[in-house]
Structure 1
């Protein structure tokens, strides 16, 4: 499995996703983003927006944002 999680240090929404991935035993790469939205170009290139968290699931060709939706996806796909 190839996951990439774009997150911001101290972001509770990002931590929620990371915690769920850890609970499910999923390995993932973390990309730490800049605090300023205007400097989150890598996230924008990947997802079309600058908010975090953003999860990229390369194996399934899925890129998504919003912690609740990501957790639902993880539970439906990997729990």
Structure 2
């Protein structure tokens, strides 16, 4: 299992909230394992539009992008985004 540790994660969230900083790409929950010669990645990506899924690999970086359609009414206030 891959683990990511960022001791400044909470501080960065607070600074972005207070200062209105830009939103950076976030890591998505995933499982990654090797079975024989194959590497398997399972991503949790609920609500994405499959047509927007884009997977690219460059050097040692795998990038997975997708868009999620907001289904809430226009005047709704998001509590968790």
Q: Please state which band the TM-score falls in when normalised by the shorter chain.
A: under 0.3
> What TM-score, normalized to structure 1?
0.24
Return the structure number with greater relative CO, CA threshold 8 A, min gap 6.
1
Higher strand fraction (1 or 2): 2
Q: Which has the larger radius of gyration?
A: 2
